[in-house]
Structure formats: C-alpha cells, structure tokens
C-alpha cells in the first residue's frame, strides 16, 4: 500500500462494463462528463472532506493512475472529488 501526501486521495475505481445492444464490450469508455465512482482506500494528512471506505464521484480527467500491489488505482487531489455517495 502507499501513503498519499498532503491533500491526495487514493481511490479504487468502481468498474462498470459498457456493453452495446449487440453485446460488444467497450473497454475504457466513459460516461457523461468523464466522471467516475470509486472507493477511498487511503487519504493524505491534510484531507478533510472524505474518509477511508467512502464511495465518491471524481473528475477522472484530473487523476493520476498508479499501480499498487499489482492493481491499478488512481490518485486525485481532494478538490477534484465531486461528491460523496451516501
């Protein structure tokens, strides 16, 4: 595991398959406005708006992709988290 610094948040993206009506799976396709949901795995010491374990909406275009223990994760600044799912 890695420890985010400052206002960084480590997120595991919630994967959703995009399938056409004919059954073709479209890899890497994004929905409206390039937003995605994810689960907060770790937070930096200056993060105040989210907690580990919460599901969030984030601006995918503002993330940095990292590999953690062989899995793809993203780091995002707290300011680019759009909402918390309740």
- Do 79 and 9 form a contact (C-beta atoms < 8 A)? no
Q: Model pTM?
A: 0.78
Confidence of residue 12 (pLDDT cuts 50, 70, 90): very high
What pLDDT does residue 28 have?
A: 59
**Which token pair is 1?**
């595991």
pLDDT tens readout for residues 26-40: 665 555 445 678 999
What pLDDT does residue 23 have?
A: 72
Mean pLDDT value across the chain: 86
Listed in sequence order, the residues at least 6 apart from 10 whose beta carbon sits closer than 8 Å to its beta carbon are 2, 4, 40, 41, 42, 43, 66, 68, 73, 74, 75
Instruction: Please give the domain boundaries of the chain with CATH numbers for all domains.
Output: 8-84 (2.30.33.40)
Above pLDDT 70, what percent of the chain? 80
CA count, 13 A, side-chain hemisphere, 35: 11
**Which token pair is 25?**
């799976």
């Amino acid at each position: 595991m890695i420890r985010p610094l400052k206002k960084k948040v480590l997120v595991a993206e919630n994967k959703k398959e995009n399938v056409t009506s004919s059954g073709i799976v479209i890899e890497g396709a994004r929905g409206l406005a390039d937003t995605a949901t994810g689960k907060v795995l770790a937070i930096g010491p200056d993060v105040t708006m989210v907690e580990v374990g919460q599901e969030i909406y984030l601006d995918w275009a503002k993330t940095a992709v990292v590999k953690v223990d062989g899995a793809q994760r993203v780091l995002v600044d707290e300011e680019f988290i759009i909402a918390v799912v309740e």
